[in-house]
A and B are shown apart, each in its own frame.
Chain A
Amino acid sequence: MRVNFVLSEVATGLRRNLTMTVAMILTTAISLGLMGTGILIAGMISDMKEIYYDKVQVSIFLTDDVTDEQRSAIEQKLKASDEVKNFVYESKDEAYKRFKEQFAQQPDLVNNVGPDALPESFRVELVNPERYSVIAAEFPNGQNGVDQVRDEGDFLDRLFSLLNGARNATIAVAVVQALAAVLLISNTIQLAAFNRRNETNIMRLVGASRWYTQLPFILEAALAGLVGGLLAVGGLVLTKVLFVDKTLAGPIKAGIITEIDWSAVAQTGAFITLGGVVAAGVAAYITLRLYVRL
């Protein structure tokens, strides 16, 4: 295969159709960028689920006037319970410390809350997280020093359904964009084939192989896919540096949101770039098979 020949055909093709090429690259980039964002959110969700669901499932908050007897009675009951896998006690001081760490970025909030404001609690991990109601029934609110039993899972479910929604919406938009990108690629390739019909007609008549005739078009689309993919990766990197690492620095440091690390960005970037190249090439190939006589 004459590499120079094929490459110069590709370059000519892209140049002749500059506006279409730019449109093709941009749509591909947006689609791949959103796809990458969706994948990263999905990864973040599963990381967070691991951390959260493992940590705490039920919190038993104690009243301010709880007595030592009441406290140890609760402790005994938790120890004896078959439903409880593990539990830790968190004193007022510890709760305050954790609160300060979590909201280190918001000093106003921290300054407004005194060390006494936060209740002490038992953080309970259940054998089966779904059995929250059993624990709640054992420790009725407002009795024996128990102020409130809270199902953290319920809160987490709501949090995660929000994140899942964000992920799904991102991917849905990405899919619609991908459809637009594929149609644009198909259109551009048809145009390119029309522009070069003299060349391809002659190639066909002198017996150039199908591959030789089609390859420039497929490479043209694949190249656009590659550039689109690289732009999308650039977008992901900028989003991480400018938004995730800056704006979300507080919650990440406090362990509320998991960090998006560079290896995840690199992996996702490689995936979407490769995906862009392959999808564009395949779209071009199918277009040539269906609509263009070569």
Chain B
Amino acid sequence: MIELQHVTKLYPASSRPALDDVSTEIDKGEFVFLIGSSGSGKSTFLRLLLKEDDPTKGTIRINGQTLNTLSKWKVPKLRRTMGCVFQDFRLLRNRTVAENVAFALEVINKPQRTIKRVVPEVLEMVGLEGKASRLPHELSGGEQQRVAIARAFVNRPLVLLADEPTGNLDPETSEGIMLLLERINRTGTTVIMATHDYHIVDSMRRRVIELNGGQITRDQSRGVYGVGR
């Protein structure tokens, strides 16, 4: 499903590679934690999967498509099969909850009928059914992240990429978000989540890929955050 072969990423401004000869495979429906200290290459990993950047060396394949050779105009198609969630939510402040979610469908030309049907569905799924017409600043952080997850999931992506989705949230709220991501994972969506939150990693016991200085130093199914903790 997702395959990286000897992927190296060098940013022009830096002499040390952000990713250094990384090879791994992630199957459909897996739940993977990407851990490691800041600057270990987690974000670069996610950026390369989205083809926000191209690797300096190596190949990346997603769903049988080789990203290296994917032409520019096909990138939007690729991204429609992926959802993204970030630490800072990235909601549009002047749009309501429902509009924020609908926006993701509008801009890829989904018919209005479909939008009217699926937006309430997904809002119900993330537990925001009564808050469709609120503006983001009227919501708590956890609720805002739920809106972001609804937006990422509304088009039923094959892969959900989450870059420290609980980084701004308190432990209880984080737990709710993790339950939601687990639920999404159970629908068959692959979830790749970069995180620093060892509580979450330890309690979930899912596959853990640890990056250190751009290299994979650990790849463990049902892993924990730190070995020997």
Residues of chain A whose beta carbon lies under 8 Å from any beta carbon of chain B: 1-2, 5, 198-199, 201-210, 212-213
| B90 and A206 within 8 A (CB) | no
Residues in A with CB closer than 8 Å to B90 are 198, 201-202
Query: What are 27 A-B contacts defined by CB distance under 8 Å?
Result: A1-B109, A2-B109, A5-B106, A5-B107, A198-B92, A199-B92, A199-B103, A202-B103, A202-B151, A205-B79, A205-B84, A206-B80, A206-B83, A206-B84, A206-B104, A206-B107, A206-B108, A206-B151, A207-B78, A207-B79, A207-B80, A207-B81, A207-B82, A208-B76, A209-B73, A210-B76, A212-B107
Q: Are B107 and A203 within 8 A (Cβ)?
A: yes
The interface centre, meaning the residue of B76, B80, B84 with most chain A CB atoms within 10 A of its CB, is B76
Quote the shortest CB–CB distance from B79 to chain A (angstroms): 4
Q: A212 near B155 (CB under 8 angstroms)?
A: no
Question: Main SS of chain B's interface residues?
Answer: mixed
Q: Whole-angstrom distance from the CB of A15 to the nearest CB of chain B?
A: 13
Residues of B within 8 A of A204 (CB): 79
Whether a CB of chain A sits under 8 angstroms from the CB of B77 is yes
For A199, what are the chain B residues with a Cβ–Cβ distance below 8 Å? 92, 103
Complex Cα–Cα for A205 and B148 (A): 12
CB neighbours of B155 from chain A (8 A):
206
Residue from A5, A207, A212 having most chain B Cβ neighbours under 10 A: A207
- Cα–Cα distance between A201 and B93 once the two chains are bound (Å): 14
Q: How far is the CB of A225 from chain B (nearest CB, A)?
A: 25
Indicate with 1 or 0, residue by residue over B41-84, a CB within 8 angstroms of chain A CB atoms. 00000000010000000000000000000001101111111111
- Residue ID in chain A nearest B112 by CB atoms: A2
Q: Let me know if A205 and B108 touch, CB within 8 A.
A: no
For B73, the closest partner residue in chain A by CB is A210
Q: In the complex, what distance in Å separates the CA atom of A171 from the CA atom of B65?
A: 54
Task: Determine how close the nearest CB of chain A comes to the CB of B107; give it in whole angstroms.
Answer: 4
Given contacts A202-B90, A205-B50, A210-B73, contact A2 B106 (CB under 8 A): yes
CB pair B109–A206 under 8 Å, yes or no, is no
Residues of the A chain whose Cβ atoms lie less than 8 Å from the Cβ of B82: 207
Residues of chain A within 8 A of B75, CB atoms compared:
207
Closest A-chain residue to B81, C-beta based? A207
Sorted from nearest, which 7 A-B pairs have the closest CB atoms? A207-B79, A207-B80, A208-B107, A207-B76, A206-B104, A203-B107, A209-B76
Query: Which residues of chain A have C-beta atoms less than 8 A from B72's C-beta?
Result: 210
Nearest CB on B from A22, distance (A): 23
Using a CB-CB cutoff of 8 Å, which residues 93-134 of chain B contact chain A?
Answer: 93, 103-104, 106-109
On chain A, the residues within 8 Å of B92 by CB distance are 198-199, 202
- B64 shortest CB reach to chain A, Å: 18
Instruction: Other than A206-B107, A210-B76, give 16 A-B pairs with Cβ distance below 8 A.
Output: A2-B109, A5-B107, A198-B92, A202-B151, A205-B50, A206-B79, A206-B83, A206-B108, A206-B151, A207-B76, A207-B80, A207-B81, A207-B108, A208-B107, A209-B76, A212-B108
